[in-house]
Amino acid sequence: RIDQRLDLPLTERQREIHSEALNAASQIANILKRRPLTPAEQNRFMAALQRARMACDAAGLVDKVTEGSPKLDELDNLLDELCRLSGLKAVIFSQWELMTRMVEDRVRRLGLGCVRLHGGVPSARRGDLMDRFRDDDAVQVFIATDAGSTGLNLQNASVLINLDIPWNPAVLEQRIARVHRLGQSRTVQVILLVAADSYEQRVLGLVQGKRHLF
């Protein structure tokens, strides 16, 4: 297993959404210094942090208008090199279903075959998606959310790309274990895309600290 971390800059629009979200969270955190938060305040606090994390992937996850992001552009480069030119199979994870749709669009533009699994896919269809990824050489990319990842056996892939950082370190390890598991005969490249100078970097630090503690 080879782990690689790529730090990518935020666009001006991403930075704008990111800053607004962290400012909103900071204001609520200041209330917490004086008294416990109400349930509504807790919800607003978590929603603000969620917006900051989403902005680290793509501004369009929040404003539903802006197209593209540095992470998606870097993904194009990785898939071109690893899948289109080298013939490898890759698994791509994001927490957000909309991000997986953006990824699918990029993958198809590159001329690569793919399947996409998320929480809305019926259980009866999930086995078919895994079978296509395993058996069809033309299907080189498996795109999934964490909601759709439980129990996946994808060791025919040798590349795993994380587009975002889950809060829970166990979820990150579960993603990796879909590919780096018993039966895997090749070296697995695990690539982590991280927004530079962002809240996501702080989340990654917390996750790594929890992992070391475990």
pLDDT digits (tens, 9 = 90+) for 133-146: 999 999 999 999 98
Measure the CA–CA gap between 166 and 59, rounded to whole angstroms: 18
- 200 backbone dihedrals φ, ψ, rounded to 5°: -60, -35
Which residues fall within 8 angstroms of residue 194, CB to CB, at 6 or more apart? 5, 6, 7, 8, 56, 165, 200, 201, 204
- pLDDT tens digit string along 35-86? 999 999 999 999 999 999 999 999 999 999 999 999 999 999 999 999 999 9
Q: Among residues of the chain, what percentage have pLDDT more than 90?
A: 73
Report the C-alpha gap between 129 and 116 in whole angstroms.
8
Share of the chain above pLDDT 70, in %: 97
pLDDT of amino acid 137:
93
The pTM (predicted TM-score) of the whole model is 0.92
From 58-67, 92-101, 125-134, the region with the lowest mean pLDDT: 125-134
Measured on CA atoms in the order 129, 132, 135, 136, is the torsion positive or negative?
A: negative
User: 131: pLDDT confidence band, cut at 50, 70 and 90?
Assistant: very high
Banded pLDDT at 148 (limits 50, 70, 90): low
For residues 194 and 165, the answer to whether their CB atoms sit within 8 Å is yes
Q: Output the average pLDDT for the chain.
A: 92
Q: Using 50, 70 and 90 to split pLDDT, how confident is the model at 206?
A: confident
pLDDT, mean of residues 117-132: 88
Amino acid at 129: L
The answer, yes or no, to whether residue 213 has pLDDT greater than 70, is no
